[in-house]
Amino acid sequence: MNVLVVGGTGFLGGAVAREALARGHRVAIFTRGHNATDAGPEGIEVLTGDRHGDLSALKDRAFDLVVDTCAFAPEAVTSLLDALSPAIGRYALVTSVSVYADFKAPGVSEDSPASRATPEQLEMARALPPEQRSSAASYDKAYGPLKRECELVALERLGERALILRSGLLVGAGDYTDRLTSWVRRVDQGGAIPAPGDPQRLVQLVDVRDAARFIVEAAERNMGGLFNLTGRPFPFADLLEAIRRVTGSDARLVWRSDEAVLAAGLEPWTEVPLWLPHADEAFRHFLEIDVEKAFAHGFKPRPLDETLRQILAWDRTRRGTPLKAGMPPEKEAALLADPLRAQAE
C-alpha cells in the first residue's frame, strides 16, 4: 500500500510509520518540519506542510491508506479530506475514549453514548491561533466532544472506508506524557512509595507498538467502523508489582486511601498518574473500557513486562530529564506520613 501518516513524527504516528514500513508498505509522513525528528526514519518520504494551512504537498498524491493521528477539530479533518479526495482508499482516524459521555459504569463500548461539541466549543476551536491547534491541551474539556465531531466528519465523508480508533492510554518508550514512565522511574529508584487508593482498582493501557500494528493490520484487511483500542483492565497493584519485578527494585509499596491522597494536596492523573478518586463518579470507570471488539478482530497486545522493560531501558538513558507527571517529592513525603492521621492528631 501507499501509506500517508499525518503526524508521522509524533509518538503514535512514528510508531505507525515504522510498522507500515516494516510490513513492506511505501510510507510518507506529513509534518510541519519544526522538529529535528521531522526528517523521519530512513526509507520514509517526508512531505512538509501544515494541515491548518499549506496542504499543497498533498496535491496530486494518491494513498491507499491515510492514518491521521493529530486531528483535534472537525475542520482539520475536512481540510485534509478535501486536499486528498478522491485519491484516498482508507482513512484511519485516531481519536480517544474521551469521546464518551461518561464513565459512571464499567464496560463502556463502541455503542455507548458519545458527547457532541457545543456551538461554543466549536467556535473556540476555530478561533485558536494556528500554532495552538495541534496541541491537545489547547482544547481542555472540549477535547473529547471535538474528537467526536472529527469522527462524524470522517464517517459522513467516507462511510465504511473510515476506520475510527478510539485510543486508550498509550504507553511506551518516547511517551511525552510520562504517565506510566513516572511510575517506572519511581519504582526503579526504590524505597518506600505511596500507592494511591484501592490496590484492586482497575487500569488499562496499550503499548504504542501494539496500537500501531492493529491500525496497519486493520487497514490491510479493509476494516472500517469504530474500535476501542486499548488493553483489557487489570488491577493497579499488578501493574506496580510488575514494575518492581522488571526493575529488580527494593521498592516497598505503602497503600494510601483516596482521601489521604487528596489530603496530601496531590492532583489526580498528573501528579498521581493513572489514578482518579473513586468519588469522581463521571470518571469512576474511565480505565475499564470494553475492548472485546478489537480483540475479536485481531488485536493482540504483547506481555506487560515487555512494555515495561522497553520503558525502563529508555528512561534509564534520560534520568536527567524532569518528568511531566508524577508526585513532587514534598507531596510524596506528606502522603507517606499519612495526612489524615496527622489531621486527626
CATH number of 81's domain: 3.40.50.720
**Domain-located, residue 25:** yes
d(CA 124, CA 15): 31
**Domain-located, residue 320:** yes
**Cβ-count burial of 140 within 10 angstroms (0-12 exposed, 13-18 middle, 19+ buried)?**
exposed
Same domain (yes/no): 125, 200: no
Q: In sequence order, what are the beta bridge partners of 51? A: none
Question: Which pLDDT score, from 0 to 100, does residue 338 have?
Answer: 84
Position of cell 465504511? 160
Instruction: Measure Cα distances from 89 to 106, 187, 243 in Å.
Output: 35, 46, 42
Question: Which pLDDT score, from 0 to 100, does residue 343 have?
Answer: 53
What are the cell numbers at 64? 491507499
Nearest to 137 by CA among 92, 72, 199, 63: 72
Q: Is 95 helix (H, G, I), strand (E, B) or coil?
A: strand
Same domain (yes/no): 253, 163: no
What are the cell numbers at 113? 453514548
What are the cell numbers at 18? 515504522
Same domain (yes/no): 186, 315: yes
**Domain-located, residue 228:** no
**Domain-located, residue 217:** no
Q: Can you list the alpha helix ranges (DSSP code H) found in the chain?
A: 11-22, 74-84, 119-127, 143-158, 179-189, 208-220, 236-247, 258-263, 292-296, 304-315, 329-336, 339-344
Successive 10-residue mean pLDDT values, the chain, 345 residues: 96 97 98 63 90 92 97 97 91 98 98 98 95 92 98 97 98 98 99 97 98 98 98 99 98 97 97 96 97 99 99 97 97 90 51
Question: Which pLDDT score, from 0 to 100, does residue 35 have?
Answer: 59
